[in-house]
Structure 1
Amino acid sequence: MGKLELIVIALGLSMDAFAVAVSKGLSLKHMKYRYAVITGCYFGGFQAFMPLLGYLLGTQFKDSLTSIDHWIAFILLSVIGMNMVRESDNVHPKTDESLNVKDMTILSLATSMDALAIGVTFAFLQVHIAEGITIIGITTFIFSFIGVKIGNIFGYRLKSNAELAGGIILIIMGIKILFEHLGVIRF
């Protein structure tokens, strides 16, 4: 998997965090850049850690599953993508101005569970994990930072579109991986 594919996956993964960051920004009465930095650090950090954890778990099973690894990648990316598309209809999330450790950890875990599955996929596809988690973490930090600011200005209109776009991106990447392994297409 090349850098371009990693960037596309990072964009897809960051859309969940972006959507929650928009909601966070909406709930803030007074926008301060430190709120955006805190949110970006939480979401970016968890989005980088979870694929690493998934990768470590995936490498334990990689040898026994190599004949179906492309199907696993396709299924995981498609399921994650379809869930994001389905959740894009929920445009009225509960908003809370709090940036305390407990709340931010829960939100970060919730938005990064799909990244855990991506990490398992990375193990099967022999992705250079340091590069992958760096791209995912930085991309998510940037989108989360921007999401807080945009949410504070514009509100709910962007949330559902971000999740929809992220879901579609992940589904397309899953199909691409499957077709490449089946020899249907070559990039």
Structure 2
Amino acid sequence: MDFYSLLIIAIALSLDAFGVALCIGLNSGVSINGKVLFSACSGFFQFLFALIGAYAGVLFNTYIASVPKVIGGALIAIVGVLMLKEGFENKGECPVIKPGTYFILGISVSIDAMVIGFTVLNSINNSLSVLKDTLFIGLVTLIISSLAFIIAKYLKKIELFSKYADYIGGFILVIFGIKMMFF
């Protein structure tokens, strides 16, 4: 996979974490340790789920059936539509943070990475390339969620972006899925 496609996928996947991080950052009662923990959990689980999905996709393609690009693109587009749906249901509300929920939030914003790993990263023949690409996805998520905390610190009115992060990420994944199916 070329770098720009991987970067677009990584950014689209990290926008869920960006939106949640903005909400957490706008809450003045959250400590710096909580912010660091959330960013680390989001990046780690984004990496882990993309890696698990990629290897599950390789196993599926090897031992069951090859997933054509049209099916993979359709699955990515469906994930994008689900992200859009989640944005409509969320209505821009920030989650209530209790101690110990950072792991759950990190997992919840990373589940879509497993589908992307299964459909996009499974065509890579080299295990080192899979590891490198999934680490990149996790690193981008770590950086983007950290940036959200910095933005929230200085711009408390940035709450509108957290409201639309699911929409933006979903739209990017739908476009990428359509591109994968037809081009």
Q: Which runs of 5+ in 1 are unaligned?
A: 181-187
Amino acid at match of 1:45: F
Whole-Å Cα distance in 2 between the matches of residues 84 and 172 of structure 1? 13
Q: What pairs up with 1:145-160 in 2 under 5 angstroms? A: 145-152=146-153, 153-160=156-163
Mapped to 1, the partners of 2:28 and 2:74 lie a distance apart of 37
Of the structure 1 ranges 47-56 and 6-15, higher mean CA displacement relative to structure 2 is found in 47-56
Tell whether the 8 Å contact from 1:91 to 1:160 is kept in structure 2 after alignment.
yes
Give the C-alpha shift of residue 31 in structure 1.
Answer: 6.0
Deviates more, 1:123-132 or 1:44-53: 123-132
SS at match of 1:88: helix
* Larger CA deviation: 164-173 vs 149-158: 149-158
Structure 1 residues 55-87: Cα deviation after superposition (integer angstroms, max 9, x where no partner): 121111113332x42123112211111111222
Q: Mark the runs of 5 or more structure 2 residues left unpaired by the alignment.
A: none
Using a 3 Å threshold, how does the CA distance of structure 1 residues 161 and 92 change in structure 2: closer, same or farther? same
The aligned runs of 1:1-187 (5 Å cut-off) are: 1-29=1-29, 32=32, 34-63=33-62, 64-66=64-66, 68-89=67-88, 90-96=91-97, 98=98, 100=99, 102-126=100-124, 128-152=129-153, 153-180=156-183
Q: 1:31/1:150 Cα in 2 relative to 1: closer, same or farther (>3 Å)?
A: farther
Q: Could you say what the CA RMSD is over the residues aligned between the two structures, in angstroms?
A: 2.0
Alignment: residue pair count: 175
- Conserved? CA contact 1:92–1:156, under 8 Å: no
On the 8 A contact 2:24/2:35 being kept in 1, the answer is: no
SS at 1:29's partner residue? Answer: coil
CA contact (8 A) 1:43 1:140 kept: yes
> TM (normalized to structure 2)?
0.86
Q: Is the 8 A contact 2:74 2:181 kept in 1?
A: no
Identity %: 29
Residue 184 of structure 1 is matched in structure 2 by none
